[in-house]
């Protein structure tokens, strides 16, 4: 064979390749949200409104509406927790809000948790939910409800199950988003 007829050298099979370098350490801090954090929180939430069925909102609230909601939750003494990178970038947030507005439900809350794309699959959801549960218990709350879409939220179902949430019911075709019907799975956890 002439030199120009040789095929290029093949790459080694992956099994024989050296191991990939470990990802950079994933560090973050957890803290309570402030009113000044709401623009970043809303920006992350808007991503989910536009691209996901994990929220049934089809249009993101305005910043003024989101700030008003935050101030109401603060007044109630409910936790609103953030995870921030060492540089201050929002990686995720978790909070609770009244399950229902009637006063008899005052010790029962519904939880909400959202992660930024850089934080998905890195254990931050587990950390945030654990932190949120701890702060709910400190606030004297007694029951926590999770309402999870029945499609596209498998990680959320697994996470809540890991923390002892029990399925309490399902409702089919109660939401319509992205040209399809969606149901919900209700989960509940009793707090200490």
Residue 117 is classified by DSSP as G
Q: Indicate the CATH number for domain 28-190.
A: 3.40.630.30
Candidates 108, 107, 83, 113; CA nearest to 95 is: 113
Taking the C-alpha atoms of residue 77 and residue 71, their distance in angstroms, rounded to an integer, is 10
The predicted structure's pLDDT at residue 25: 85
Q: Is pTM, for the whole model, over 0.85?
A: yes
The predicted structure's pLDDT at residue 6: 58
> What tens-digit pLDDT sequence spans the chain (192 residues)?
455 555 666 665 565 666 656 557 899 999 999 999 999 999 999 999 999 999 999 999 999 999 999 999 999 999 999 999 999 999 999 999 999 999 999 999 999 999 999 999 999 999 999 999 999 999 999 999 999 999 999 999 999 999 999 999 999 999 999 999 999 999 999 999
Partnered with residue 111 across adjacent β-strands are: 96
Whole-angstrom CA distances from 55 to 19, 39, 45, 65, 171 are 38, 18, 9, 17, 15
């Amino acid at each position: 064979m002439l030199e120009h007829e040789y095929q290029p050298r093949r790459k080694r099979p992956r099994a024989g390749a050296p191991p990939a370098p470990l990802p950079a350490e994933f560090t973050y801090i957890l803290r309570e949200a402030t009113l000044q954090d709401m623009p970043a929180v809303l920006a992350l939430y808007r991503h989910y409104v536009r691209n996901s069925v994990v929220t049934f909102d089809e249009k993101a609230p305005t910043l003024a509406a989101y700030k008003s909601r935050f101030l109401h939750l603060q007044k109630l003494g409910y936790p609103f927790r953030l995870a921030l990178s060492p540089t201050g970038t929002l990686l995720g947030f978790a909070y609770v809000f009244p399950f229902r507005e009637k006063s008899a439900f005052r010790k029962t809350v519904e939880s909400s948790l959202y992660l930024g794309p850089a934080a998905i699959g890195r254990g931050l959801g587990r950390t945030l939910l654990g932190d949120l549960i701890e702060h709910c218990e400190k606030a004297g709350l007694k029951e926590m409800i999770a309402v999870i879409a029945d499609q596209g939220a498998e990680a959320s179902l697994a996470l809540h199950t890991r923390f002892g949430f029990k399925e309490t019911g399902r409702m089919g075709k109660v939401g319509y988003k992205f040209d399809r019907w969606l149901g919900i799975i209700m989960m509940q956890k009793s707090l200490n």
